[in-house]
Structure formats: C-alpha cells, structure tokens
Amino acid sequence: MAKKATTKSAGKARGKRGKRAGKSGTALARRPSAGSSGSKEGMGEAFIKLLQSPLVAELVAVAATAALASLAEHGFTSGGEASRGKRAGKAVKVAGKAAAAAVGRRLGTEIDEIRKAAKGGAKA
C-alpha cells in the first residue's frame, strides 16, 4: 500500500527531531545539515573553482554560439507588432533548445574522451 503524502512542514517537523519514523517503524538517521560554517565555505570555494574551469567557459561559449546562430537563422523581418512578439518568443525558445543541444553534444564528447583516456591508462 502506498504511503500517504506529507506536506513540507510535516517533513521539517520530523527532521528537527533527528530521526524519521515511517509506517513500518524503521528510523532513518539524520544527515548533518549543510548549514555548518566549514561546509559552506568548502562548497563555495568548490563552486567558484568549477565556474573558473576551462570546461565551463567552453560550454558557455558553445551555448552562446549555438543560440546566436539559431537566432540569426530564424531571422527577423518587419511585420505587425502582434506577430513580432510571437516570433521573437518562438525564436528565443528555439535558441534555448539549440544551446542546450550544443552543450549536450559537447559534454558527450568530453565524457567520451575521458572514457578513452581511462581505458588507455588502464592498459598502460
């Protein structure tokens, strides 16, 4: 039988007690909160390092290039005001999809290169 859905406030109340008890009577150990001062600093530094990595910079460039190319391909011609807004919205939506697809392809390429390097390193 499925468990009854709970609201967020009910989940928070259980979390403050330290343990959660389900219908089966089993208790789950509470994980340490991410709010500790050392943890926040470490996560912040890791996030900054990630943003500064060459891969992220390259992914942003790939996404921007794909979006710009999509917008240019879609084209904008003079027309009525009502239809212009719809066309612009559609163009932005298509540009976003193009950017996401480009990033996905680039990430796939990176992952394939990492796998090839890992296999080559294991053989040596």
Domain assignment present for residue 30? The answer is no
**What is the three-state SS of the chain?**
CCCCCCCHHHHHHHHHHCEEECCCCCEEECCCCCCCHHHHHHHHHHHHHHHCCHHHHHHHHHHHHHHHHHHHHHCCCCCCHHHHHHHHHHHHHHHHHHHHHHHHHHHHHHHHHHHHHHHHHHHC
**pLDDT for 84-115, tens place per residue?**
678 888 889 999 999 999 999 999 999 999 99
pLDDT in tens, 66-83: 999 999 988 755 555 557
The overall pTM is greater than 0.75: no
| 115 in a structural domain | yes
Max mean pLDDT range (29-33, 49-53, 90-94, 97-101): 97-101
Quick check: is 2 in a domain? no
How many structural domains compose the chain? 1
Asked if residue 101 is part of any domain, the answer here is yes
Domain of residue 108: give its range: 55-123
Q: What percentage of the chain exceeds 70 in pLDDT?
A: 60
> For residue 88, is it within any domain?
yes
User: Do the domain assignments include residue 14?
Assistant: no
